[in-house]
Structure 1
């Protein structure tokens, strides 16, 4: 008889790309994952996965079985969520990805009351600044800052976000304060590598402008960008949820070049075609309430 845990395990292996990664996702040992996969193959009478010491790939039968297996696993999870919702209880696993700095500074404090309120939810939060593949990496949703780049995602706005140019007073005293886009291009920039060359995008009365200045430092983390700006490395374009406190303390000052950075937002996104669970909707409501309108980091 085919077991649901075998189907769930096969889907996790296919999505994660390895037994080890699937084991971490399922919170099981690698040996248990392997045993479940072998048992499923025995019941089906076919090999679903090619295994070598370094690689893992689906067979032709595995590829054919994956589509229906994924649908079965998803529908079972949705059915369980529906039953829990009918009982007025939110329970089961919920896996979210979020950026490191926003997660540490704002998402974590907003999540802790939610976790206490719903002790039967098994929440996993992965903090990672890279753009993960929500469906392939097995996430229920991602929390992100910026624009929605993946058209396969359904995005829910959580809060508005502003980005401002900032620099240390000592840097501006030494190098001067730019007052225009043209002058800004002559300064050392602290650039967020996960966004690429077009990150410094501004919008004014004449439309959009992209600044490609001289990179003084390229880094993939907002905390380090802020700290580099405070250290006088150059000018950074950062959201106020990262630099608000540094501006209020005087460690950084905002730089006005006569044009605003393109507006962005904090959003939660889940895969298109997958019905959002009751616990995911409850989490989204919790975050909106915690962040506020306008968000508390801009309220002052």
Structure 2
């Protein structure tokens, strides 16, 4: 007989690339995971996992248990939430994915306040700049900064706030090297690139009078951390293309100067992606999304707060 505890344990194992990763997710030692997995397989009389070096691969039986187990756990969670809703309570486990910098500054405070208001909700906030690498079934709500032409199957997109992309540099850099008069001038300037998601980050696209101009920069400095890129720019090391939410305070304070403001760049709105239509209706997901939308209206980067 399988228990819900067994199903939760195996769901964590099935979602992890290795037993070591599963042990971290479960907050137990790797030997404890190995021992419990072996005991589960012996009780069921079948192999659930094939071990190939440090990696795991589910057997057919393991795939079946993982798939059906997730469905059972979700159904139980939905039932628990429906009963709680009748008593006017918000309960359950809310899994949120957000970009590193934006998540730190704008999502984490809302998550903490929401959990304080609804103490029977447990929140997991995963900060990652590679949303595409996070399986859709592993989160209830994902926050994305940038246009989404078409949401992946099973996902529902909701735009939360406007956000422009801007080119800027520190006054010290401009005093030493001068600013670009037209986008093509960037080819002869020290540019800094932020490598995030899977975008072509060295191709900067500008638009003016319905004409698009593309410039391929050759970055002198590049990083996958937006805060590092911003600090390099503040230190006068080069020109950056960044989201408005990240540099608005620096622009207002004069620490950075906007460049090429006669040209428009592709917008990068803040978008929420709901994990599935079932989860989209969950009270905890909907209420958190409403709380985040209120926190971003008006956008703090435009209101100066």
| TM-score, normalization by structure 2 | 0.87
Against the structure 1 CA distance between its residues 199 and 213, is the aligned structure 2 distance closer, same or farther, given a 3 Å change threshold? Answer: closer
Cα separation, 2, equivalents of 1:262 and 1:70: 39
> Could you tell me which of 264, 268, 282 is aligned with 2:287?
282
Q: CA deviation at 1:30?
A: 4.3
| Cα pair distance change 1:94/1:26, threshold 3 Å | farther
Aligned ranges 1:2-13 → 2 under 5 Å: 2-13=2-13
The one of 164, 167, 172 equivalent to 1:165 is 167
Cα RMSD for the two superposed structures:
2.4
What stretches of structure 1 of length at least 5 have no aligned partner?
none
| Distance across 2 between alignment mates of 1:135 and 1:79 | 24
CA distance in 1, matches of 2:19, 2:30: 6
Aligned 1:1-300 pairs, distance under 5 A? 1-30=1-30, 33-51=33-51, 54-131=54-131, 133-135=133-135, 138-148=138-148, 151-152=152-153, 153-194=155-196, 195-197=199-201, 200-272=204-276, 274-276=278-280, 277-293=282-298, 295-300=299-304
Cα distance 1:141–1:223, how it changes in 2: closer, same or farther (>3 A)? same
Structure 1 residues 82 and 25: CA distance shift in structure 2, 3 A: farther
- Aligned residues between the structures: 299
1:33 Cα shift? 4.1
CA distance in 2, matches of 1:24, 1:85: 32
Alpha carbons of structure 1 residues 273 and 286: separation in structure 2 relative to 1, 3 Å: closer
List runs of 5+ in structure 2 lacking aligned partners: none
Shift of 1:37: 3.4
- CA distance in 1 between partners of 2:108 and 2:242 (Å): 20
Q: Deviation per CA, 1:155-199: give whole Å up to 9, x if none.
A: 222211112111011211222211212223332211111133366
Deviation of the 1:274 alpha carbon: 4.5
